[in-house]
Amino acid sequence: MKYLEDTLEARSDPRRILPGARSVVSLSAFHSAAPFVAADGSRVARYARGADYHQTVRRAAERAARAAIPRLPGGFRYRVCVDTTPVAERSFAAASGLGWIGKNGCLIDPDRGSYLMLAEIVTDLELPPDAPIAEQCGACVRCLDACPTQAFVAPGVLDAARCLAYWTIEHRGPLPDDVKEALGDRVFGCDVCQEACPWNSGAATPGTPASASNDAPPTRGEWLALGPGAWRRRFGKSAYNRAGRRGLQRNAAASAGSRRDAAVRAELGCAAKSATEPGLVDAARWAAARLSDGAGGGDS
């Protein structure tokens, strides 16, 4: 992704975001590992459940930093970073001993797996470093083999141009036809490489599945029918904002075509005729054509 290339130097040197920085305190927070599935079987990345993690994790990190100030008479300067700031989060977390970077590029905590959100407190304090944890993936390549688009060109090396999480969250505009075809039930993100990881085998949180609770994400039809006012009220403070309403609707339309979901035929027709966002129009027309070409009802 170009913005990663453009910020390479800044991400490797925290002094660019806090002059005089001498230490990085890395923090991690576990998010629910329970699958996030809508009533129609469509899926959303687990981290998107609930309030936007940028804000919730940031507040927790700010509280931790402020709590330390009274204990240090001389005070210190700091800056809290959560994902949106150019900091090499996983690299610093691994160097801090929070886990190791797995072959799927995720930080893996040996006790909690990889369903984690990261934050950093960059400070001008001189702090003793913690020891890193040795990599423990061994010969396992389950995450690489499980990727539906073979996006890993080598262990730890991801080609964003093949990654469904990139296409459904970061990309703006129309999706390539092969990406639309590969989406299946996914409408926001992709957790497959983490689902395959044996370090996550015991990470699933107990309780009612999202699809059977009020916590369930919208169905494809509900995404397609969602107006701007309802979007702001329901998702204005959520992680979905990264893709935006039209991005989610584009993904929902493409997923409907991939799964031949005839239940949203009317919504697809409306989007194909009246939408102005090129990505949504393209996905709706592609999906409608798929429904016309083959049997509806959802194939695999």
Strand, coil or helix: what is 207? coil
CA–CA separation, 170 and 231 (whole Å) = 19
Nearest one of 49, 2, 189, 186 to 106, comparing CA atoms = 189
Contact 114, 106 (CB under 8 A): yes
CA–CA separation, 37 and 198 (whole Å) = 21
Nearest one of 156, 153, 125, 123 to 140, comparing CA atoms = 156
- The DSSP letter of residue 99 is -
Q: What are phi and psi of 46, to 5 degrees?
A: -55, -35
Pairing of strands 43-44, 36-37: antiparallel
**Start-to-end Cα distance in the chain:** 30
Sign of CA dihedral 290, 291, 292, 297: positive
CA–CA separation, 159 and 152 (whole Å) = 6
List all residues 6 or more positions away from 144 whose beta carbon is below 8 Å from its beta carbon: 103, 104, 152, 155, 193
Nearest one of 261, 227, 250, 203 to 38, comparing CA atoms = 261
Tokens 């129609």 belong to: 40
CA–CA separation, 193 and 210 (whole Å) = 20
Q: Which of 13, 40, 52, 83 is catalytic?
A: 83
Burial of 181 (0-12, 13-18, 19+ CB in 10 A): middle
Does residue 282 have an active-site annotation? no
| Active site (catalytic) residues | 83
